[in-house]
């Protein structure tokens, strides 16, 4: 079961009902089940949230892409501010922003809180070796098509799929 905390300002500014918003969000994360939602599909099409084949439009997708710039500094500052051989674990801010935007677009099921908690755990686990194998913040997100962040998030997922998950959107 999935629980939602929905920002009412998003609903008001986009003239959406809570049911419409949840419907669009569940389609966005490819987790639409036949929930009992009161949704007027024709109205969603008319307001350009769905196309003629009931696929999400760019307008509806833009509702769910988080603004990573508001918390990317917090993410980077989780990494130690030390000099390791040939690198700075905090990495490059612009690379972090670019890679995190792409990551959150590809993996909308993971929240800011999921990412920050997973990153804290990853850094803590690397303290054992004095950060010898710690990746820089931007490479932790993605390097050459491989995301250590995604791997860590998948490892941290509860095995019991029936557990409740609260999503803030």
- What is residue 134's DSSP assignment? P
Query: What burial class does residue 21 get, using C-beta atoms within 10 Å of its C-beta: 0-12 exposed, 13-18 middle, 19+ buried?
Result: buried
The 10s digit of each residue's pLDDT in 121-152 is 999 988 888 888 899 999 999 999 999 999 99
The C-alpha angle with vertex 12 and arms to 75 and 46, in degrees rounded to 5, equals 110
- What is the pTM assigned to this prediction? 0.66
Question: pLDDT-based confidence at 162, cuts 50/70/90?
Answer: very low
Compute the distance between CA of residue 72 and CA of residue 140 in angstroms, rounded to an integer. Answer: 13
% of the chain beyond a pLDDT of 70: 88
Residue 168 has pLDDT above 70, yes or no: no
Domain regions of the chain by residue span: 2-61, 68-158
Question: Would you state the pLDDT for residue 164?
Answer: 47
Residue 34 has pLDDT above 80, yes or no: no
Residue 110 contacts by C-beta under 8 Å, 6 or more apart in sequence?
Answer: 104, 153
* Residue length of the chain: 169
Residue 151 contacts by C-beta under 8 Å, 6 or more apart in sequence?
Answer: none
DSSP, collapsed to helix, strand or coil, labels residue 165 as strand
Question: Would you state the pLDDT for residue 42?
Answer: 95
The 10s digit of each residue's pLDDT in 57-81 is 989 888 877 778 889 999 999 999 8
Query: What burial class does residue 118 get, using C-beta atoms within 10 Å of its C-beta: 0-12 exposed, 13-18 middle, 19+ buried?
Result: buried
Residue 4 has pLDDT above 70, yes or no: no
The pair of structure tokens assigned to 82 is 């030390």
């Amino acid at each position: 079961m999935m629980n939602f905390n929905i920002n009412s300002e998003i609903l008001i500014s986009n003239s959406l009902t809570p049911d419409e918003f949840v419907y669009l969000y569940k389609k966005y994360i490819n987790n639409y089940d036949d929930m009992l939602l009161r949704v007027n599909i024709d109205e969603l099409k008319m307001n350009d949230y769905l196309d003629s084949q009931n696929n999400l439009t760019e307008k509806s997708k833009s509702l769910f892409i988080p603004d990573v710039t508001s918390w990317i500094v917090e993410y980077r500052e989780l990494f130690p501010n030390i000099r390791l051989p040939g690198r700075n674990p905090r990495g490059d801010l612009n690379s972090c922003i670019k890679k995190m935007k792409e990551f959150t677009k590809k993996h909308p099921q993971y929240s800011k809180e999921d990412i920050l908690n997973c990153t804290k755990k990853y850094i803590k686990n690397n303290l054992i070796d004095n950060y010898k194998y710690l990746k820089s913040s931007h490479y932790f997100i993605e390097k050459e098509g491989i995301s250590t962040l995604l791997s860590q998030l998948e490892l941290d997922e509860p095995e019991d799929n029936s557990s409740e998950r609260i999503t803030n959107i």
